[in-house]
């Protein structure tokens, strides 16, 4: 098994490399973290498309840092929720976690930093709107978390996550997102890279003024939950809730 310091060596970079393509000092100020080794921040910004311009191998993109950052984010968020809600069961904590680690929220974090303009892309990806793409922005945030962890350890990574991610939970809950089962199911699927849920009307019964809709929710192509209501939206919410129960999320 690799020691902690042997593991860190896998991420070491050459010192004093100039990166004229991006203003790392400006970004560091926005992130409120000063990197000892700015080369790791540079790599965190390097989308795989950019490698077609530099001729580098896939390993030089930000994907390894993204993988590490995702793991660190998951650990820190789970620990935070475990301590903050000592009386809640696992399903509720999983629900809360899905609200904090999903791509949509991370992309909002990226936009708050103006991160899009710092990400390194090739011309084709840039022309197609890559700087505003949710997946690219959220991946870059995870890569930056990984970079901070490597450069400054878990303490600094936790501080960054608490200042920019977990501190949003109370506001999310105040907006009532927990009552929107379709939203929760959507966030759950995004968090675990599952195909987005689909809803299908299976039956319509009763007169027009008192019609009952039966809707099935499909998750990753599988029928997961069924709900009934006097409107399509109500039936979809109930189908989403049943799906979350089947998935042990609530």
Catalytic residue among 70, 139, 236, 242: 70
220 is catalytic: no
Catalytic residue among 66, 139, 142, 151: 142
pTM of the shown model: 0.68
Residue 13 has pLDDT above 80, yes or no: no
Higher pLDDT, 124 or 20: 124
User: Which pLDDT does position 207 carry in this prediction?
Assistant: 86
Residue 7 has pLDDT above 60, yes or no: no
pLDDT digits (tens, 9 = 90+) for 129-174: 999 999 999 999 999 999 999 999 999 999 999 999 999 998 888 7
User: Which pLDDT does position 80 carry in this prediction?
Assistant: 97
pLDDT classification of 109: cutoffs 50, 70, 90: very high
In angstroms, rounded to a whole number, what is the distance separating the alpha carbons of residues 149 and 126?
Answer: 28
pLDDT classification of 247: cutoffs 50, 70, 90: confident
Find the angle CA(38)-CA(44)-CA(49) to the nearest 5 degrees.
Answer: 130
Q: Is the dihedral of CA 153, 30, 144, 92 positive or negative?
A: positive
Higher pLDDT, 17 or 236: 236
First-last CA distance in the chain: 37
pLDDT classification of 233: cutoffs 50, 70, 90: confident
In angstroms, rounded to a whole number, what is the distance separating the alpha carbons of residues 87 and 46?
Answer: 42
Query: For the chain, what is the mean pLDDT?
Result: 87
Residue 197 structure tokens: 């849920």
User: Which pLDDT does position 172 carry in this prediction?
Assistant: 83
70 is catalytic: yes
Instruction: Yes or no: say if 77 and 161 are a contact pair by the CB < 8 Å rule.
Output: yes
pLDDT digits (tens, 9 = 90+) for 31-71: 999 999 999 999 999 999 999 888 888 889 999 999 999 99
In angstroms, rounded to a whole number, what is the distance separating the alpha carbons of residues 47 and 27?
Answer: 16
User: Which pLDDT does position 198 carry in this prediction?
Assistant: 95
E strand or H helix at 248:
none
């Amino acid at each position: 098994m690799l020691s902690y310091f042997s593991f860190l060596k896998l991420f070491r970079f050459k010192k004093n490399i100039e990166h004229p393509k991006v203003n790392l000092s400006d970004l560091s100020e926005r992130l409120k973290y000063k990197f000892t080794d700015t080369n790791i921040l540079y790599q965190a910004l390097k989308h795989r498309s950019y490698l077609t311009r530099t001729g580098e191998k896939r390993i030089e993109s930000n994907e390894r840092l993204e993988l590490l950052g995702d793991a660190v984010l998951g650990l820190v968020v789970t620990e935070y929720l475990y301590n903050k809600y000592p009386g809640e069961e696992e399903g509720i904590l999983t629900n809360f976690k899905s609200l904090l680690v999903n791509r949509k929220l991370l992309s909002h974090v990226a936009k708050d930093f103006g991160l899009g303009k710092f990400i390194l892309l090739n011309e084709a990806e840039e022309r197609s709107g890559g700087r505003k793409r949710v997946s690219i922005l959220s991946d870059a945030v995870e890569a930056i978390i990984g970079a901070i962890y490597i450069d400054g350890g878990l303490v600094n990574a936790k501080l960054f996550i608490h200042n920019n991610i977990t501190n949003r939970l109370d506001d999310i809950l105040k907006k009532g997102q927990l009552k929107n089962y379709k939203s929760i199911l959507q966030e759950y699927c995004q968090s675990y890279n599952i195909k987005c849920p689909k809803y299908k009307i299976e039956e319509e019964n009763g007169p027009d003024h008192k019609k009952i809709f039966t809707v099935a929710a499909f998750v990753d192509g599988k029928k997961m939950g069924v709900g009934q209501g006097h409107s399509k939206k109500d039936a979809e919410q109930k189908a989403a809730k049943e799906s979350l129960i089947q998935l042990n999320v609530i």
